[in-house]
Structure 1
Amino acid sequence: MSSTKTSSTSKSVAKAKIYWAVPATLVAALAAVFAAKWLIGLVPVADFIRTYPGHTELPQGTPEGMPGWLSWQHFLNAFFLLLIIRSGWQVRTTTKPPAYWTRNNKGLLRTKKPPTKISLELWFHLTLDFLWVLNGLVFMVLLVVSGRWGRVVPTQWEVFPNALSALIQYASLNWPTENGWVNYNSLQVLAYFTVVFIAAPLALLTGLRMSPVWPRDAQTINKFYPIDLARAVHFPVMIFFVAFVVVHVFLVFATGVLRNLNHMYSGSDDEGWLGLILFSLSLVVMMAAWFAARPLLLRPVASLTGKISR
């Protein structure tokens, strides 16, 4: 009885925090806008913004435009990330999994130790992780081969004051002039660099440490990289991805939705409707996958590579 009351109390506290988080966020956003507008009115800050308008020059030879492969990469990354966040939350909150998955210990996969039994939600999460990482590796290779790496990798120190300038301009609602077809502003460069080269590897390394494939008997490496550390980092990284997606989608719609979506989905620099149509279709696919990712459909798929048990 006491454990039930404790659980109910903790849920009520969590809901109260969520309710208060919304107005607190709105108040903080309004305070940031007023503070930024006040700062821009100061002569030193105005001079700083004129000196650092918000962007730096790209490395010589960096191509312009968005290639077709980037549109597919963007969709697949969003698709996998959405389901990874959903399945990761289920792994974190599900107390009684509907089914378990055990890897087939056959052929090349045969090992001396019996395979570990994991929940169906964790199997789905790990499968999505593998596909997401594979997609990310393809993206990095294409980024280097195509010469477009300079668009998301800082190459000069001026990127930092320019990023601060862009942040002040965004916060003041006097947004910096953008031309994402040619070059991202410095705040975007730092954000994309953080996502691709810092947050994504952190998610991979911490998730790998927590997964069943990690060698539990490797005492030396486990001592220097304890699982508690991985858990402490993995969840905040997920929160970072959620916050990035929210801000990213908001700015896409607020800074010229048709042109931005054409950049991202149709590979064109105009204000036609094709990008919005493709984006809408991608949302339909993602929503369908969200509702389809249930035990009824996951069980037969998971059974192709392992044994399903209750």
Structure 2
Amino acid sequence: METQPKKERSVRLRLLTPLSRKQWAASAAAVFVALLVVAAIAVLFARWLMGLEAVDEFVTRYPGEYALPENAPVGIPAWLGWQHFFNMFFLFLIIRTGIQINRERRPQGYWRSKRGGKKISLTLWTHLILDLLWIINGALFYVLLFATGQWMRIIPTSWDVFPNAVSAGLQYLSLDWPTHNSWVNYNSLQELAYFITVFIAAPLAIVTGYRLSAYWPKDNSSLNSAFPIALARNLHFPVMVYFVVFTVIHVFLVFATGALRNLNHMYAAEDSTNWTGFVLFVLSMAVVAVALVIVRPSLVAPLARKFGEVTAR
């Protein structure tokens, strides 16, 4: 009579046991191979579609981008390059500390505000501080974006953005990539991706993060009912995954569609093909790498003490 329950418990324990490095490597290899197969099928299907007369006419009519308003600015200003760096810097650290929070079982230290309140782990405190800095940087970005007219480059101004985005997607999948000049205009697929990232994913990450934090007014039954914590949990992690996927694709396309020119656009605020942007990119990644090493409880503790009480676990 006891055999079946014991077997079920054994299965549950195996499922809860953390994967070994070999198991992680095998799983990652299997996923990589599966993605390659899916990608190959998608490319073959897209190339077949592009060979159809109706699809060819569609791509001719909608080449992948539409004209911006006449008063749209041309070029990428220096402030946008700095904003791009700080956004990347904070986002990398936020993702890193977010993963640490999910994996942390016994925090190395705790932090409590000088005004009292609940203790939180040093990792969570670091995550919240980074969130705050990211929000400040984002608020400044919004102000400059609308003050300079740069919003016209990432907010659709025509319904043609949708058929052009489909066209650009087909061209990317078929490996016959659309011609583009991001110094003047993004293609419609880029535009929609940037719009979703800036105006949907980022605010969603902020709102769900606030809902999960200790600063949410937990005694307010109306707010709790309108925005359940379970919903925030179910949204917060997928948003982080979205940022990771977006970043990987974004970096890949930067290097695959003219690295030197694209990096000059983003880091040197100039439309050229010299090595200035590449050097600045390498330096920026070095800064991020150092920060990823520094952002750990033992090194963050001295800074945390200036804002509250730090205790060992």
Question: Please, what TM-score do these two structures have when normalized by structure 1?
Answer: 0.94
Residue 91 of structure 1: aligned partner: 101
Q: Which residue pairs with 1:54 in the alignment?
A: 64
Q: Post-superposition shift, 1:60?
A: 2.3
Q: Which amino acid aligns with 2:17?
A: T
For residues 188 and 308 of structure 1, what CA distance do their matches in structure 2 show? Answer: 44
Change (3 A) 1:117 1:3: farther
CA-to-partner distance for each residue in 1:40-93, whole Å, 9 max, x for gaps? Answer: 111100000000000011122011001110110010000000000000001111
Corresponding letter in the other structure for 1:190: L
Structure 1 counterpart of 2:37: 27
Q: How far is 1:97 from its partner?
A: 0.6
Q: Distance in 2 between matches of 1:88 and 1:294?
A: 12
Q: One-letter code of the match for 1:307? A: E
Aligned equivalents of 2:305 and 2:164: distance in 1?
52
The amino acid of 2:42's aligned partner reads A
Q: Aligned partners of 1:186 and 1:201: how far apart in 2?
A: 22
Gaps of 5+ in 2: 1-8
Q: Specify the alignment match of 1:111 in structure 2.
A: none
**Aligned match for 2:173, one of 159, 162, 171:** 171
What is the Cα deviation at residue 11 of structure 1? 2.8
Identity score, percent: 52
Are residues 83 and 146 of structure 1, via their aligned partners in 2, closer, same or farther at CA, if it must alter by over 3 Å?
same
Aligned partner (choices 221, 239, 249) of residue 247 of structure 1: 249
1:307 match: secondary structure:
strand
SS of residue in 1 equivalent to 2:17: helix
Q: In the alignment, is residue 266 of structure 1 matched against residue 268 of structure 2? A: yes
Give the whole-Å Cα distance in 1 for the aligned partners of 2:23 and 2:229. Answer: 25
1:138: which partner in 2?
Answer: 140
Deviation at 1:20, TM superposition (A): 2.2
2:243 pairs with 1:233: no
> Residues 144-172 of structure 1, C-alpha deviation per residue, up to 9 Å, x if partnerless?
00011000001111100000000000011
Contact 2:123 2:296 in 1 (8 A): no
Q: Aligned pair 1:102/2:112, yes or no?
A: yes
Aligned counterparts of 1:14 and 1:270: Cα–Cα separation in 2: 46
Match in the other structure for 1:109: none
1:96-142 CA distance string (max 9 Å, x none) = 1100110111xxxxxxxx41111111001111000001101101110
In structure 2, what is the Cα distance between the partners aligned to 1:34 and 1:238? 31
In 2: Cα distance, 1:24 partner to 1:89 partner: 25
Identify if the C-alpha distance between structure 1 residues 216 and 142 changes in structure 2 by more than 3 Å, giving closer, same or farther.
same
Please give the TM-score of this superposition, normalised by the length of structure 2: 0.93
1:203-222 CA distance string (max 9 Å, x none): 00000000011011011110
User: CA–CA distance in 1 between the matches of 2:136 and 2:69?
Assistant: 27
- CA–CA separation in structure 1 for the residues paired with 2:78 and 2:117: 41
Counterpart amino acid of 1:157?
W
Once the two structures are superposed, the pairs formed by residues 37-48 of structure 1 within 5 Å of their partners are: 37-48=47-58
Q: How well do the aligned residues superpose, as a CA RMSD in angstroms?
A: 1.8
Letter in 2 for 1:11: L
Could you tell me which runs of 5 or more consecutive residues in structure 1 were left unpaired when the two chains were aligned: 106-113
